[in-house]
Structure formats: C-alpha cells, structure tokens
C-alpha cells in the first residue's frame, strides 16, 4: 500500500497566486528561481550534494536561491538538535557563492503554503527510502521534481514525465544539469509540474488509496469464506 496525500490541502501555485506572492514576500523573495528542499538536514538526504550542485547552478543562474526546509530530527525537543554534520553544513552554507536559506523545522500545517516558494523541488536522497511523503506533497503542489532512483522514489516520479531522475545518485554535476534544465525551460517546468499534479490526483489521493485498501480487505475477507 502506498502513502497518500491531501490533494485539497496541497494545491498548486497556478491556482494560488496571492498565497504564493505572500509566502515569497515573507521570506524576502520576489521572482528569483527557487530550488526547494524539504526534509531532515542530514547527509543521507543529499543536502550536501545539493549544495555542491548549487555551485554549478549559480554559474548559470547567479540569482537562484536554495531554500532548505527542515531540522536535523523530528519529535518534541529534537527539531533543532545540533549534529556534527549540521555544524559542518552550516559552515559550507556560509561559504556558498550564492544565496541559501535555512528555515529550520516547520510544522506540517505550514507546509502546504511553504511548497509555493519553489520553482523546482530537489530530493537527492542518497539511501533507499520507502516512499518519501514530501514527493507526494510537492507533486500535489505542481512542482517538477529532481530526485534519485533509489528505493520507492521511481514509484512516484517517472523520469521525463513528472520529474527528472538521476542516473548517478551521488553526482553533483548531473544534479545541477537537471535543476538547470527545469529552471531554464519554462515549458518543461510547466509540463512536469502539471503532470506531477495529475499523477497524484490519479494514483495517490487519499480517496484512491482508501479504495485500494478496501479492495485488499475485501480480497482477504473473500478468501476466508
């Protein structure tokens, strides 16, 4: 069974222009190209790789901004916990040749509007994951996705259809090329984003997931008769 997403709560920017402008203003942004990441600030999530890739992105788009949403941990009293990786990562951010914003942990009820900050969503996971919920949320918000092929990610993201997947998960050059491809091609960005939203509507909305789960239960009950 797959995870699901609230497609009424997580809606795309093209239907929420006023909200998108307001959230950008809150973070001091106007029309800069924004690469958005949401998740734990950990090495396994690929944030170090993403920062390295942004150095290449800034060569082509010096006005681009990297927005990193998340803390080092989840749970009460743990979201702002310092880790050795995070301390080093903040030093790397301070030396970065472009603009990086670290929002810290945000409650989930703030995320539906936070996704409106992005022009592309980066999820460069370096270890296999089941199915990252952030991919469903970002897709529901109409964001094109750039991610890796590890774990359950390809079950959500189809390369060239609703996002771009890396052939080499740990290659910052390839990640940068894919980010630039989306940021510099409005037609590609729009096509991937709209198809991301459509795929979530068809496959990962909660009503669809509920129907799938009911079918599983019906099958189990039928086999016991």
pLDDT digits (tens, 9 = 90+) for 104-163: 999 999 999 999 999 999 999 999 988 899 999 999 999 999 999 999 999 999 999 999
Tell which residue, 191, 200, 188, 206, has the closest CA to residue 138. 200
pLDDT digits (tens, 9 = 90+) for 15-43: 899 999 999 999 999 999 999 999 999 99
Query: Where along the chain do its domains lie?
Result: 13-223
pLDDT digits (tens, 9 = 90+) for 95-107: 999 999 999 999 9
Q: What angle do CA 174, 176, 182 make, to 5 degrees?
A: 105
pTM score:
0.92
Burial 51-78 (b: 16+ CB within 10 A, else e): bbbbebbbeebeebbbbbbbbbbeeeee
CATH among 3.40.50.300, 3.40.50.10490, 3.40.225.10, 3.40.50.2000 for 13-223: 3.40.50.2000
State the pLDDT confidence band at 74, using cuts at 50, 70 and 90: low
């Amino acid at each position: 069974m797959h995870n699901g997403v609230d497609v009424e709560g997580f809606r795309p920017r093209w239907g929420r222009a006023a909200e998108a402008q307001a959230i950008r203003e809150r973070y001091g942004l106007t029309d800069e190209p924004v690469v958005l990441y949401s998740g734990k600030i950990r090495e396994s999530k690929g944030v170090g790789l993403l920062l390295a890739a942004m150095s290449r992105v800034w060569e082509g788009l010096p006005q681009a901004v990297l927005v990193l949403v998340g803390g080092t941990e989840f749970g009460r009293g743990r979201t702002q916990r310092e880790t050795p990786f995070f301390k080093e990562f903040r030093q790397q951010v301070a030396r970065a040749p472009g603009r990086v914003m670290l929002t810290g942990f945000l409650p989930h009820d703030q995320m539906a509007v936070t996704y409106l900050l992005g022009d592309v969503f980066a999820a460069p996971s370096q270890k296999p994951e089941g199915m990252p919920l952030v991919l469903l949320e970002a897709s529901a918000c109409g964001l094109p996705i750039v991610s890796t092929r590890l774990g359950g990610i390809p079950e959500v993201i189809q390369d060239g259809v609703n996002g771009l997947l890396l052939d080499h998960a740990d290659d910052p050059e390839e990640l940068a090329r894919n980010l630039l491809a989306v940021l510099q091609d409005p037609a590609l960005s729009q096509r991937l984003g709209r198809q991301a939203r459509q795929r979530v509507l068809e496959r990962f909305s909660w009503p669809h997931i509920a129907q799938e789960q009911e079918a599983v239960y019906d099958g189990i009950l039928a086999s016991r008769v």
